[in-house]
Amino acid sequence: MSRNIKILTWFNFFTDFKLYAPIAIIYFAQVSGSFALGMSIFSITMISSALLEVPTGVFSDRIGRKKTVVLGAIAATLAAVFYAIGQAFWILVIGALFEGLSRSFYSGNNDALLHGTLAENNQTEKYADYLGKTSKMFQLALAISAVLGGLILIKWNIPVILWLSVIPQIFCVILSSMLIEPQVVFHKSANIYQHLKEALFGFTKNKKLRLLSLSSIVGYGLGEATYLFHSAFFATVWPVWAIPFSKVLSNLGATISFHYSGAVIKRFNIFKILIGGNIYFRIMMTIATVFPTIASPIIVSSGGLLYGIVQVAKNSLMQKEFKQEQRATMSSLNSFAGSIFFGIIAFLIGFLADKFSPAQAILIFQVFQLSLLYIYWRLFKYHN
- What's the mean pLDDT when you consider all of the chain? 79
Percentage of the chain modeled with pLDDT above 70: 83
Let me know the angle formed at the C-alpha of 295 by 227 and 143, rounded to the nearest 5 degrees.
50
Q: Which of 113, 112, 80 is nearest to 96 (CA)?
A: 80
Query: What whole-number distance in Å separates Cα of residue 223 and Cα of residue 377?
Result: 19
Q: Which residue has the higher pLDDT, 65 or 333?
A: 65
Report helix angle 24-32 to 35-63, nearest 10.
110
Query: What whole-number distance in Å separates Cα of residue 97 and Cα of residue 109?
Result: 19
The whole-number pLDDT of residue 1 equals 46
Report helix angle 109-120 to 304-321, nearest 10.
70
| SS3 label, residue 380 | helix
DSSP one-letter code for 174: H
On whether the CB atoms of residues 288 and 362 are closer than 8 A, the answer is: no
The whole-number pLDDT of residue 196 equals 56
On whether the CB atoms of residues 322 and 334 are closer than 8 A, the answer is: no
Query: What whole-number distance in Å separates Cα of residue 148 and Cα of residue 304?
Result: 20
Residue 119 pLDDT > 80: no
On whether the CB atoms of residues 203 and 210 are closer than 8 A, the answer is: yes
Handedness of CA 283, 289, 295, 298 (dihedral sign): positive
The whole-number pLDDT of residue 158 equals 81
The whole-number pLDDT of residue 81 equals 96
Average pLDDT over residues 168-190: 76
Q: Report DSSP letters for 6-46, one per residue.
A: HHHHHHHHHHT--TTGGGHHHHHHHHHSSHHHHHHHHHHHH
Q: Which residue has the higher pLDDT, 296 or 222?
A: 296
The whole-number pLDDT of residue 324 equals 58
Residue 188 pLDDT > 60: no
- Residue 190 has a CB neighbour count (10 Å cut-off) of 8
Q: What are the structural domains of the chain?
A: 3-178+187-383 (1.20.1250.20)
Q: Which of 74, 38, 252 is nearest to 158 (CA)?
A: 38
Confidence grade of residue 247 (pLDDT, cut at 50, 70, 90)? confident
| SS3 label, residue 238 | coil
Percentage of the chain modeled with pLDDT above 90: 15
Q: pTM for this one?
A: 0.68
**Residue 184 burial (CB < 10 Å; 0-12/13-18/19+)?**
middle
Which residues, at least 6 apart from 344, have a Cβ–Cβ distance to it below 8 Å? 221
The secondary element (H helix, E strand) that includes residue 53 is helix 35-63
The whole-number pLDDT of residue 323 equals 60
Residue 95 pLDDT > 90: yes
Average pLDDT over residues 239-260: 77
Query: What whole-number distance in Å separates Cα of residue 174 and Cα of residue 170?
Result: 7
Query: What whole-number distance in Å separates Cα of residue 134 and Cα of residue 114?
Result: 9
pLDDT in tens, 34-85: 756 776 788 788 888 878 876 776 767 777 788 888 999 999 999 999 999 9
On whether the CB atoms of residues 134 and 12 are closer than 8 A, the answer is: yes
**Residue 122 burial (CB < 10 Å; 0-12/13-18/19+)?**
exposed
Average pLDDT over residues 22-36: 75
Residue 184 pLDDT > 60: no
pLDDT in tens, 277-313: 888 888 998 999 999 899 998 898 888 888 878 878 7
Handedness of CA 287, 293, 296, 299 (dihedral sign): negative
On whether the CB atoms of residues 345 and 225 are closer than 8 A, the answer is: yes
